[in-house]
């Protein structure tokens, strides 16, 4: 029993070591989805993204968990930047020229609850615009690691 537990903890130790090595990797700015040619279309291309971001912003301003971070922002500009950013990630014909994630979120005191609430509101907006669930998840898989630059609290 003790020997087995020893092996177990050794194994855990190796994995922990591995985790420490990769956790220093920075969030995926500049990463785009290149293995799914149809995904940009599934989001309705650029026009679809514009509609999704309009709905997204309405949702964010309704949700008390996200409202404080957007109500005093230049909402039009935020939406434009998000369209460009998502278009870029979805391998569409756009460049993301917006600010880096980390510096623009540094002083916002965003916690996990705020971050997850934003994800939920994005899901609601994508559902409303009929983006297939699996395509939504591919985008969220790229966005999720950005919590490391966005969540500071």
Partner 1 sequence: MTVTQGNKTRQRILAIAAIGGSLLACAAQAQTSSFTSSSKLLLTGGVTNIEGSAGGGLTPWAIIGGYGTRDQIGANAFFTNVRADDYELRTGGALVGLYDRVELSFAQQKFDTKEVGGLLGLGNGFTFTQKVYGAKVKLFGDAVLEQDSLLPQVSIGFQRKENDRGALLRALGIKSDKGTDFYVSATKLYLAQSILLNGTLRYTKANQTGILGFGTNAKDKYEAVFEGSAALLLRKDLAVGVEFRQKPDNLPFKEDHWHDVFVAWAPTKNVSVTLAYANLGNIVIKDKQKGTYLSLQVGF
CB-hemisphere CA count at 13 Å for 87? 23
Stretch that binds partner 1, among 55-63, 66-74, 93-101, 116-124 (CB under 8 A): 116-124
4 touches partner 1 (CB under 8 A):
yes
Q: Find tokens 């919590």 and name the residue.
A: 147
CA distance 139 to 136: 5
> From residue 45, how far is each of 4, 31, 96 by CA, in Å?
54, 18, 15
State the nearest-atom distance from the C-beta of 62 to partner 1, in Å: 15
63 touches partner 1 (CB under 8 A):
no
Q: Which is nearer to partner 1, 60 or 117 (by Cβ)?
A: 117
10 touches partner 1 (CB under 8 A):
no
Per-residue mark of binding to partner 1, 68-107 (x: CB under 8 A): ----------------------------------------
- The region, left, alpha or beta by phi > 0 then psi within -120 to 50, assigned to residue 111 is beta
12 touches partner 1 (CB under 8 A):
yes
19 touches partner 1 (CB under 8 A):
yes
Question: How many CB atoms within 10 Å of residue 40?
Answer: 22
């Amino acid at each position: 029993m003790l020997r087995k537990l020893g092996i177990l903890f050794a194994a855990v130790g190796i994995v922990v070591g591995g985790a420490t090595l990769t956790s220093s990797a920075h969030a995926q700015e500049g990463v785009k989805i290149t293995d799914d040619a149809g995904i940009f279309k599934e989001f309705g291309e650029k026009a679809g993204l514009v509609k999704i971001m309009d709905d997204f912003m309405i949702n964010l301003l309704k949700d008390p968990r996200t409202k404080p971070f957007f109500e005093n922002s230049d909402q039009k500009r935020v939406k434009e930047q998000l369209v460009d950013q998502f278009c870029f990630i979805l391998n569409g014909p756009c460049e993301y020229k917006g600010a880096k994630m980390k510096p623009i979120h540094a002083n916002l005191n965003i916690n996990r609850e705020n971050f997850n609430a934003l994800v939920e509101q994005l899901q609601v907006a994508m559902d409303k615009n009929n983006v297939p669930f699996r395509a939504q998840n591919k985008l969220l898989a790229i966005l999720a690691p950005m919590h490391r630059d966005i969540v500071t609290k």
